[in-house]
Structure 1
Amino acid sequence: MKNILKKLSPLALAVLMLTSCEKDYLETAPTQSVASDEVFKTVDGAFVALNGTFRSMWTSMGGSHGHFGQKSHDLTMDLMGTDIVLHTRGYNWFTGEYNLSAYASATDGSRSGLAWEYYYRTISNANRIIANVDKATGNPADKEYIKGNALALRAYSYFYLANLWQHTYKGHETAPAVPLYTEPTTEGKPRATVQEVYDQIVADLTQAETLLAGKTRKHISHLNAAAVKGIRARVALQMEDYATAAAKANEARQGLAPMSATAYTAGFGKANSEWMWGLEIPNDQSTIYASFFSHFDAKVVSYASLGLQKKITKELYDQIPAGDVRKSVFITPGTGTAKLPDYNQTKFTLPVAGSWAADYILMRASEMYLIEAEALARLGNEGEAQTVLNALVQARNPAYSATQTGSDLINEILLQRRIELWGEGFSLLDLKRTKTNIKRPDGDGNHQAALAVVFERAIDDPTLLWRIPQSEIDANDALAPADQNP
């Protein structure tokens, strides 16, 4: 880790700093260099550091139009799965992710290299905040709020690092994951085990939840206690700790009903009553073509409209009933155009015509309903699972009723996850945790060989693991060539 940490020192926030929240969005006034001791003298300075960290979660890295923070990795994880089809090669963005090759390079500019730097940049920022905020002058409650957010961001980042650089938790607890850093340092460390990384994730989320309990969120881009519980539910589901997953998902969704049909079809670019956490992007800070919506919204001049349209598979589309509002966010077969072909998505579109202003969803209550339902079903509480699932799906399709039991009920919940959360970044990790091999449907309306290339792969195939950047191995004395993933 010496390499990336040296690149981020002495303060990873230096070019990411923001002024404090003087408006209803995160102000963005980058500075060129700010010493750590100056930033953390006051709570206001610590808020600047925290806001800068959140800003780094949606900005482009190195000017790449294929890297726009967390959502670029969410898109990658979906494209590596089964349910999203690329229409044509277009400008070639994300075609390597789609054919399972982009992450296989160990260069800094590869998908693996960009993700490694992105997540460890967030961790480095969080570690500096955690190490220094207690010494700042200001309201103790604000210090707890800032620290709780930083702990949750560190846990969130390690969760993705552990799942991308190693197989899923269950059955791989002693396998090497990624280097684990919990304090500011420029000295490299070896790969910690999956268990060690998850232990830190759980510890960070537990502390964050305590620190944020009872505190009002200052901005939708920040985390509150409910969002932290939501991350904990995700982690527990991946660990197959179903009792914790059910409990935390239930706690996280309290007071949050599924969004209306009107809200579901509004484009997912603006926070609504169901959003639990998202990144609000100031209008003048939009990354335009280097953005999630450029790669999804084919209604505007974008990468999506220039051949890189994102489509649902016919296989999944056909499983959505006609009365389900979720079917309406895809172009009906036989009605498509060159710009909006059959099966093309309209779930993610810019909120205002002629403007690139749009926000990024990171968590919403529907996911919590699905986690709770699945966890309850796996625990054998089938009646409760059906009730929770019906509460969600009936908001999309009033005629729906879950009556399945046993494995049929679990499979139904997993199907509803694929439909409800399509395009939100869950496909690869769901395949990993359920130990389901990648098996892409082919033929008309499904994946095509020229672009998809790979149609089947065992989910525990070591070649699916992302690569440690070679520059990291070269610079980190605690890593050797043998530590690289296959």
Structure 2
Amino acid sequence: MKNKNIIRIMKVVCLAFPLCLNSCIDEVFPENGQASIDQIGKSDQAIDAMVNSVVAFVNAYNTYGFQGWHDFGYSGYNLLREAACEDFFCHEPKFDFFSTYGTCNEMGDADNVNTIWYYSYKFINAANNALSALDKADDTAENRFYRGICLTYRAMNYMDLVRMYEYKKTGVEKLDNEAEGNNIYGLTVPVITTETTEEEGRNNQRAPFYIVYQLILDDLETAEKLLADYQRPTKNMPCTSVVHGLMARMWLEMGSRFELYPDDLGTLNSNTDLNIASKEACFAQAAEYARKAIDESGAVPLTEKEWFGGDTYTTGFNSVLANSWIWGSIMTSEDVYSYWNNFAGSMCPEQTFGYGNRKWQGYKMISKKLFDSMPDADWRKTTWIAPEDAHKVPGTKYKTLLNDNDFADMPPYTGIKFRPKNGEMNDYTVGAAIDYPLMRVEEMYLIEAEATGMSQGLAAGISKLEDFVNTYRYEVSLGRYSCEADNLKDFQKEVIRQKRIEFWGEGVVFWDYKRLELQVVRGYPGTNAPVGYRFNSIEGYCAPWMNIFISIYENVYNKGVVLNPDPSQAINEWTE
């Protein structure tokens, strides 16, 4: 990009329902600060600014208009989704600002829920605005690259929206009957593209799953062609390896859908030109694209040393330069708007400026059950403090910036995965400006393993999984990993267990829980989930709280949309 600073004078104002543009570009159009799509399309500087605004939306702060504690960019929304699963707790619940889907309360008409809808659609709107301007611009190589970048981000967001808002059966009779009565099964979200008018937006119904699947795949296939010759300057810019990683995610999603709902394959083929032969064909595509992402990216899984932050423990999960990152955000001090309301302040226990630290005790913890499932041969285990090591000095077992006293203050199961930037523990303008992973190559290895098993058979999938874990995640002198699954369903669960360990705190596994309709279990004897979080969903169904409630304000402005049932407190909390 030619001028990254210009994004700071871009102010895109939008609502969820219409495609709109109300941008102030004072430096580009100084007379009145207002610019039409035609004007922007004729200005290289303005085009550059708009595309930068799309890329920068990953770090957008306070997008909803009131300060939600999670509204500090894509990473904050991933933490909300992380809290909906079963392995992410806060030691001091009063400082748990991601508790909406942990306590299963206020999941309907609530600002914390509304923000999710608005963030995603504002992100899409930024991409649509840039694409509209590019339609008016000259057909240059650079503008083709810009179009591919915007289509990639749009596809990512529609993929997120589909998976969050499509209603899946929960086993809770009241909710499922309401969904059936409102005829929302198989429906996803309203589609807004560059062609959508404001009038259409005001009566924009939720699109069937196959319509959005086609849109996502079309966007990605177009992006793949447009970015074929693109040499990205930094990893926050999508390239073909990123596109292929998103394709791997999408084809995995589709294969699982047709595995659970075989009739949906016929529905899709009757209403699109995708012509998918079978669920196995979808899984085969997922494996193929995952392998392309691995090979094209040149990325390699993190070593134990890299995972824990190098020799000085300063680079753990905070730099887009990490060898395993295919795609990520890039943050500078200018992107940090609050000394404590940011990802590092929430997730890095070694900092002093946030609330996830010794002063406020907002430490983030892994679940006891998942921790106990890790053998000592898995070197990732020392990412979290073992119960027998809590309140003791770290010794050589744990890699930390903290002094002995501060380390000994942390409770069992606390995660020390994420580091403040450059190891800066006190100055938030430095320490909080950490990059955030959007795609790591390890995910592609695990997608490849699952998809291979589902398309080529159990033995082939197990071979891929065992090879990954033994090569990259086990100290084999202490023992070798062996997958004991004897059927495909249990094999998938084991792949997801590996993902739960690998991507703790990264917002990845929400999509797997909902894709496979896995049971969420937080309540059991000995659980370390705080009281008020111990909810178990019904086995064989989607957890009710993973059917995200559509913002009630969308229903006010868009008369065509039908809301999901409110899942608040739909299941009683587990008790001893």
TM-score class, shorter: 0.7 to 0.9
Counterpart in the other structure of 1:25: none
Superposition pairs of residues 41-80 of structure 1, within 5 angstroms: 41-61=42-62, 62=65, 63-80=67-84
How has the CA–CA distance of structure 1 residues 443 and 51 changed in structure 2, closer, same or farther, with 3 Å as cutoff? farther
Q: Distance in 1 between the 2:34 and 2:533 partners?
A: 44
Counterpart in the other structure of 2:41: 40
Q: Does 1:283 align with 2:333?
A: yes
Q: Does 1:258 align with 2:301?
A: yes
Counterpart in the other structure of 2:219: 204
Q: Could you tell me which runs of 5 or more consecutive residues in structure 1 were left unpaired when the two chains were aligned.
A: 20-30
Counterpart in the other structure of 2:149: 149
Shift of 1:464: 4.0
Q: Distance in 2 between the 1:245 and 1:278 partners?
A: 21
Shift of 1:462: 5.2
Shift of 1:280: 0.3
Shift of 1:110: 2.3
Deviations 1:164-215 (A, max 9, x none): 111469xx99622110111153232111112211111111111111111131
Q: Distance in 1 between the 2:547 and 2:122 partners?
A: 20
Shift of 1:476: 1.6
Shift of 1:296: 0.9
Q: Does 1:342 align with 2:412?
A: yes
Q: Distance in 1 between the 2:27 and 2:504 partners?
A: 33
Q: Distance in 2 between the 1:18 and 1:168 partners?
A: 48
Shift of 1:14: 4.6
Instruction: Return the match for 1:101 from 90, 100, 105.
Output: 105
Shift of 1:92: 4.3
Deviations 1:236-271 (A, max 9, x none): 111112111101101001132211111111220112
TM-score when normalising by structure 1:
0.87
Does structure 2 conserve the Cα–Cα contact (< 8 Å) formed by 1:81 and 1:428? yes
Counterpart in the other structure of 1:428: 510
Does structure 1 conserve the Cα–Cα contact (< 8 Å) formed by 2:552 and 2:563? no
Does structure 2 conserve the Cα–Cα contact (< 8 Å) formed by 1:227 and 1:252? yes
Q: CA RMSD in A?
A: 2.8
Residue type of the alignment partner of 1:312: I
Q: Distance in 1 between the 2:185 and 2:125 partners?
A: 25
Q: Does 1:417 align with 2:428?
A: no
Q: Percent identity?
A: 26
Shift of 1:329: 0.9
Counterpart in the other structure of 2:188: 177
Q: Distance in 1 between the 2:167 and 2:228 partners?
A: 33
Counterpart in the other structure of 1:214: 229
How has the CA–CA distance of structure 1 residues 477 and 60 changed in structure 2, closer, same or farther, with 3 Å as cutoff? same
Higher Rg: 2
Q: Could you tell me which runs of 5 or more consecutive residues in structure 2 were left unpaired when the two chains were aligned.
A: 1-12, 170-182, 256-281, 310-315, 392-407, 567-576
Counterpart in the other structure of 1:316: 370
Counterpart in the other structure of 1:186: 198
Q: Distance in 2 between the 1:453 and 1:99 partners?
A: 8
How has the CA–CA distance of structure 1 residues 7 and 134 changed in structure 2, closer, same or farther, with 3 Å as cutoff? closer
Counterpart in the other structure of 1:296: 347
- Structure 2 residue matching 1:179: 3-state secondary structure: coil
Does structure 2 conserve the Cα–Cα contact (< 8 Å) formed by 1:233 and 1:245? yes
Residue type of the alignment partner of 2:308: T
Deviations 1:49-105 (A, max 9, x none): 111122222122233332122111211111111111221213341222311224x22
- Structure 2 residue matching 1:158: 3-state secondary structure: helix
Instruction: Return the match for 2:533 from 441, 446, 452.
Output: 452
TM-score when normalising by structure 2:
0.74
Q: Distance in 2 between the 1:457 and 1:46 partners?
A: 49
